[in-house]
Structure 1
Amino acid sequence: MKNLSALLLDARGEMIAWGFEARRMWLTQGMALRTAGARYYHGFKMDLGTLEEATRSEASADPADDAAESGRTDNACGVSSRDLLTTNLLTMLLRQVVQTMLHQITASGYDEDDIRWVITVPACFTDYQKAIYRDVIKNAGLPGEDGRVLLSLEPEAAAHYARVSGARTGDDGPPLVAPGARFMVVDCGGGTVDITAYQNDQDGKMIEIGRSLGDRLGSDFLNRRIESEYILEAFGKDVMEGIREECPDALLHMIDQWERAKVAVRLDQEENINLLIPTGIDRKMGATGRRRLARRQNKVDDALVFTPAQLHALFDTVVPGTLGLIEAQLTEMESTQGDPDVPNVIVLAGGFSNSPYLQQAIKERFSARATIVVPPNPDIAVLAGAVHFCYDPQIRARRSRFTYGIDTAMAFEEGVDPESSRVSAPHGERCVDRFNVFATAGQSVPTDAEVCHVIFPMFDDQKRITFGVYATGDAEPRYVTDDGCDQLAEVTIDLGPVMRFDRTERGVRTFMKFGETEVKVRAELVQGGGEAATQVRFHSNY
Structure 2
Amino acid sequence: MASKSLFIVAIDFGTSYSGYCFSLATQTDQIRQVYWGQEHGLNTLKTPTCILFNEKREFQKFGYDAVMKYNSLPSSEAHRWYYFHHFKMKLYNQKITSHMKLDADNGKRLPALTVFSESLRYMKDHALNTIQEASYQAVYDTDDVTWVVTVPAIWDASARQFMRLAAKEAGLIGDMLSEKLIIALEPEAASIWCKQLPQEGFVAEGGHRQKFEESPGTQYVVVDCGGGTIDITAHEIQKNQSLKELHKASGGGWGGSTVDENFKEFLKEIFHEGVWDEYAQNHPTECQQMMYNFGLQKCSSSKDDLYLHCYHNLTKVAERKHKDISRFFKDVEGAEWCDGSIMITYEKMKSFFAYSIRQTIDALLEILSKPEMTTVQYILLVGGFASSIILREEIYETFREQYHILCPLEAQAAIVKGAVLFGHNQQIVASRISALTYGVAVCETFDIAVHDTQKKRVSKADNYEYCTDLFKKLVGIGDLVAVDEVASYSFTPVEPDQTSVAFGFYCTEKKAAKYKST
Normalised to the residue count of structure 2, the TM-score between the two structures is 0.80
Matched, 1:372 2:408: no
Distance 2:164 2:356 in 1: 30
Distance 1:251 1:318 in 2: 23
Equivalent residue for 1:61?
A: 108
Structure 2: runs of 5 or more not aligned: 1-33, 35-45, 203-208
The answer on whether the counterparts of 1:161 and 1:381 sit within 8 Å (CA) in structure 2 is yes
Distance 2:121 2:219 in 1: 38
The answer on whether the counterparts of 1:95 and 1:140 sit within 8 Å (CA) in structure 2 is yes
Kindly provide the amino acid, as one letter, of the partner of residue 264 in structure 1.
S
Matched, 1:4 2:48: yes
Q: How far off is 1:206 after superposition?
A: 0.4
Equivalent residue for 1:404?
A: 438
Equivalent residue for 2:21?
A: none
Equivalent residue for 2:233?
A: 196
Q: How far off is 1:462 after superposition?
A: 5.0
Equivalent residue for 1:129?
A: 159
Q: Deviations over 1:6-46 (max 9, x none)?
A: 111112211121121011101122436426x1121111111
The answer on whether the counterparts of 2:216 and 2:239 sit within 8 Å (CA) in structure 1 is yes
Aligned match for 1:13, one of 57, 60, 73: 57
Distance 1:262 1:299 in 2: 18
Aligned match for 1:156, one of 184, 188, 192: 188
Gap change, CA 1:477 and 1:86, over 3 Å in 2 = same
Kindly provide the amino acid, as one letter, of the partner of residue 515 in structure 2.
Y
The answer on whether the counterparts of 1:411 and 1:430 sit within 8 Å (CA) in structure 2 is yes
Aligned match for 1:276, one of 279, 291, 309: 309
Q: Which 4+ residue blocks in structure 1 deviate beyond 6 angstroms?
A: none
Kindly provide the amino acid, as one letter, of the partner of residue 372 in structure 1.
I
The answer on whether the counterparts of 2:246 and 2:372 sit within 8 Å (CA) in structure 1 is no
Equivalent residue for 1:533?
A: none
Distance 1:292 1:336 in 2: 54
Partner-residue secondary structure (3-state), 1:455 = coil
Equivalent residue for 1:429?
A: 465
Distance 2:286 2:50 in 1: 17
Matched, 1:418 2:452: yes
Kindly provide the amino acid, as one letter, of the partner of residue 147 in structure 2.
W
**Relative to structure 2, which stretch is displaced further, 440-449 or 305-314?**
305-314
Equivalent residue for 1:184?
A: 221
The answer on whether the counterparts of 1:253 and 1:278 sit within 8 Å (CA) in structure 2 is no
Q: How far off is 1:114 after superposition?
A: 2.6
Equivalent residue for 2:491?
A: 455
Gap change, CA 1:457 and 1:90, over 3 Å in 2 = farther
Q: How far off is 1:168 after superposition?
A: 3.1
Aligned match for 1:317, one of 337, 345, 355: 355
Equivalent residue for 1:98?
A: 124
Matched, 1:350 2:383: yes
The answer on whether the counterparts of 2:440 and 2:503 sit within 8 Å (CA) in structure 1 is yes
Matched, 1:45 2:45: no
Distance 2:64 2:336 in 1: 36
Q: Deviations over 1:327-371 (max 9, x none)?
A: 222223x5355xx6xx52111100111111111111111122221
**Relative to structure 2, which stretch is displaced further, 379-388 or 140-149?**
140-149
Distance 2:166 2:407 in 1: 33
Distance 2:478 2:502 in 1: 27
Q: How far off is 1:478 after superposition?
A: 2.4
Equivalent residue for 1:86?
A: 112
Gap change, CA 1:336 and 1:21, over 3 Å in 2 = closer
Equivalent residue for 1:514?
A: none
Distance 2:291 2:147 in 1: 33
Gap change, CA 1:376 and 1:167, over 3 Å in 2 = farther
Gap change, CA 1:336 and 1:17, over 3 Å in 2 = closer
Equivalent residue for 1:138?
A: 168
Gap change, CA 1:463 and 1:18, over 3 Å in 2 = farther
The answer on whether the counterparts of 2:150 and 2:184 sit within 8 Å (CA) in structure 1 is yes
Q: How far off is 1:309 after superposition?
A: 5.1
Equivalent residue for 1:529?
A: none
Kindly provide the amino acid, as one letter, of the partner of residue 57 in structure 1.
A
Equivalent residue for 1:535?
A: none
Equivalent residue for 2:277?
A: 241
Equivalent residue for 2:299?
A: 263
Q: How far off is 1:458 after superposition?
A: 2.9
Normalised to the residue count of structure 1, the TM-score between the two structures is 0.77
Q: How far off is 1:224 after superposition?
A: 2.1
Partner-residue secondary structure (3-state), 1:315 = helix
**Relative to structure 2, which stretch is displaced further, 292-301 or 194-203?**
292-301
The answer on whether the counterparts of 1:169 and 1:175 sit within 8 Å (CA) in structure 2 is no
Distance 1:46 1:152 in 2: 17
Equivalent residue for 2:147?
A: 117
The answer on whether the counterparts of 1:165 and 1:376 sit within 8 Å (CA) in structure 2 is no
Distance 2:502 2:436 in 1: 22
Gap change, CA 1:277 and 1:139, over 3 Å in 2 = same
Identity %: 23
Aligned match for 2:423, one of 387, 390, 403: 390
Aligned match for 2:344, one of 283, 306, 309: 306
Q: Deviations over 1:150-171 (max 9, x none)?
A: 000000011111123446359x
Equivalent residue for 1:147?
A: 179
The answer on whether the counterparts of 2:336 and 2:342 sit within 8 Å (CA) in structure 1 is no
Kindly provide the amino acid, as one letter, of the partner of residue 155 in structure 1.
P
Equivalent residue for 2:287?
A: 251
Gap change, CA 1:248 and 1:237, over 3 Å in 2 = farther
Kindly provide the amino acid, as one letter, of the partner of residue 371 in structure 1.
H
Distance 2:47 2:347 in 1: 34
Gap change, CA 1:366 and 1:54, over 3 Å in 2 = farther
